[in-house]
Amino acid sequence: MESLIKTITQKTALGNYVFGPCRRTVIKSSLCGTEKMSPLSIGRRKIVDNEAMKNLGDLKLSVKEARRVYVLEKLCSGEKTNQEAAQDLKLSVRQIQRIKQAFRLKAHEALVHGNKGRKPVHALSEELKNLIAQKAEGDYKGTSCQHMAELLEREESIKVSAKSILRIMKERGTESVCSHKAPRKRLRRARRPRLGELLQIDASPFDWLSNETMLSLHGAIDDATGTVVALWLEETERLDGYFHVLRLTLENYGIPQAIYSDAHTIFFSPLGAKTSLEDDFEGRSVPLTQFGKALDTLGIQAIKAGSPQAKGRIERLWRTLQLRLPVELRLAGITTIEEANIFLTKFAKELSERFGVVPSSAENAFLPAPSGDILRYVLCTRENRVVAGGSVISWKSKKWMAEGKGGNKKLLRKGAKVEVLTLLDKSFAIAYAGEFYPLREIAENERLEAAQKKEATKVAAAPKSKAHIPAKDHPWRRGFSPKVVSAKPALQTDAVVG
């Protein structure tokens, strides 16, 4: 058979676009999402325009079927073997032989499913649809779809499902009293067997201080025992709140194996495949967030929950806390966030003793946590910078310097890559060559003094210029003796006068 066109053209409202590497002219329908190919004769085919295709009747082929056309044409013309065609279409050789035989008999019609375009046998007739729509707007108006199905079966001897009635009412624009979806059925997940094997973490906005101000309570609960490992209150859901929850967990329990959270951008980056060279080297398909970097440093696995029901343990905790915590804070006379955070440490332990359960395994999955001096450099935000001349770092439109021992300036190699850290106490530091150094802003007067000192050092170090004294035999010391230039005689030419 003859290959017609070496591109597929997608017909849209924007014009014609090359659609793929297939070898057939196909028009993609914007309504049904299918491609149309003219059903021409089996022997020799020719290209027709869109209007001709519409007039002759269109044979609808999907993109997958259109690719089969190209491969089968090559196969039937002898340019491909059965084995090569099977590899191209990801089918077995036996299937290729069967399709090739049908393709030789029916051409492109053999690739279309036999039921395509046919009305299902069990489809409702238009007369029945009209009757149901008439009843929904007349005698049975105001009834639910399930009640209407029961009435139709009892009064009209018509058996039709409630979902079919709802679909017909939506097609005709008739409102239904009960059109909500049934609750999705979910499988209950068993608890993890060990304490510290999985922590569920989240935040809940609520009027926790009973002063008509919405605040966000950050918390974490153990999946195996229901122990409330940490609670922390902030003005909004933010990174610092989760850092404090993680800090309290590490200080009081240790390092958990995994943390279960929602898809908030604090936990998972929305950038998709925009990874850095470091991410590619580590084998990560998505970049890490600031919280994700801290988890990666501590060796904690981050697991994304697909729905709120998946982390239902902490969702139920928020319901309990919304009923109990505001009353406890009011009775304790607490009105500020700082006072509430101090109170929450004791309250979390009491809540765990009241509602906690015994795990199925007595083994503790928490690992020992680093010391506080190390944790302060782990639970922080990190930004990469390059050292400029004079051991100066440009960051936040300002100039900074690292402080070494005794508060002296730490000398850094020009062009070296460093990480600027913003700690939980809002102080700054840098990570350089495996060490951490405090970071201090360079004031404008310090910068001017440093520039002046550098310029003065250059001037002092420059050697003083001395007058050059020529040697005794230097040509400059020789006397001037003008050279006598003999005048050349003028050329004499004989003029011939004719």
Would you kindly state where each structural domain of the chain is located, as residue ranges? 9-111, 126-172, 199-355, 380-448
Q: What angle separates helix 290-298 from helix 239-252, to the nearest 10 degrees?
A: 20
**Long-range CB contacts for residues 128-137, cutoff 8 Å, separation at least 24:** 128/158, 128/160, 129/168, 129/171, 131/156, 131/158, 132/158, 132/160, 132/165, 132/168, 132/169, 133/168, 133/169, 133/172, 133/174, 136/165, 136/168, 136/169, 136/172, 136/174, 137/174
pLDDT of residue 461: 64
Q: Which of 55, 14, 7, 2 is nearest to 35 (CA)?
A: 7
Within 8 A by CB and 6+ apart from 135, the residues are: 148, 152, 156
Please name the residue that has the structure tokens 């325009």: 49
Q: What angle separates helix 93-106 from helix 82-89, to the nearest 10 degrees?
A: 100
Cα 402 to its chain centre, rounded Å, is 34
User: Is-contact 359 225, C-beta < 8 A?
Assistant: yes
pLDDT of residue 106: 80
What value does the mean pLDDT take over residues 450-463? 65
CATH annotation of 199-355: 3.30.420.10
What value does the mean pLDDT take over residues 125-142? 86
Q: Say yes or no to pLDDT of 66 above 80.
A: no
What value does the mean pLDDT take over residues 394-404? 90
pLDDT of residue 483: 59
Alpha-helical segments (H) within 230-275: 239-252
- Residue 251 CB coordination number (10 Å): 12
- More reliable by pLDDT, 498 or 126: 126
pTM beyond 0.85:
no
pLDDT of residue 20: 38
pLDDT of residue 220: 97
Alpha-helical segments (H) within 90-212: 93-106, 126-137, 145-151, 162-172
Low-confidence winner among 141-145, 203-207, 252-256, 453-457 (lowest mean pLDDT): 453-457
pLDDT of residue 285: 63
3-state DSSP assignment of residue 63: helix
Distance CA 116, CA 32 (A): 13
